[in-house]
């Protein structure tokens, strides 16, 4: 079945880069997503990548996709305290109709 795995916690200092990793099981996934959830809030879409891409950059965010290893990463450059949140990796299910989420990685940024 479809499954998404993430490391649970990451702690970085302000100004450093953060790298959040994710592995997924469904090799037929066409789109992979990163969502951010702040305390008491819903999920905010950060970025997504199509499976035929290796990399996507959007301002401070860089997404790397290794389709062979089914590994996805999100790099946040110059991490700020406002980036502290839970980050969810998600893949589109085989039917292309729903998202399968990981358990989320809690990013803690200290000043």
9 contributes a contact to other proteins by CB under 8 A? no
101 contributes a contact to other proteins by CB under 8 A? yes
Among 10, 88, 107, 109, binds other proteins (CB under 8 A): 88
**17 CB-near residues (< 8 Å, 6+ apart):** 75, 76, 77, 78, 79
4 contributes a contact to other proteins by CB under 8 A? yes
Please, which residues bridge with residue 93 across strands? Answer: none
How far, rounded to the nearest angstrom, does the alpha carbon of residue 37 sit from its chain's CA centroid? Answer: 11
56 contributes a contact to other proteins by CB under 8 A? no
d(CA 61, CA 78) in angstroms, rounded, equals 10
Positions that interact with other proteins (CB under 8 A):
4, 30-31, 35, 40-45, 48, 88, 90, 92, 95-99, 101-104
């Amino acid at each position: 079945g479809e499954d998404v795995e993430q490391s649970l916690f990451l702690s970085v200092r302000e100004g450093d880069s953060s790298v959040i990793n994710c592995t997924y099981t469904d090799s037929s996934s066409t789109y992979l997503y990163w969502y951010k959830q702040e305390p008491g809030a819903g999920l905010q879409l950060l970025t997504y990548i199509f499976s035929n891409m290796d990399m996507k950059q959007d301002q401070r965010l860089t997404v790397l996709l290794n389709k062979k290893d089914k590994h996805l990463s999100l790099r946040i450059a110059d991490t700020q305290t406002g980036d502290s949140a839970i980050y969810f990796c998600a893949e589109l299910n085989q039917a292309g109709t729903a998202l399968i989420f990981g358990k989320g990685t809690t990013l803690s940024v200290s000043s």
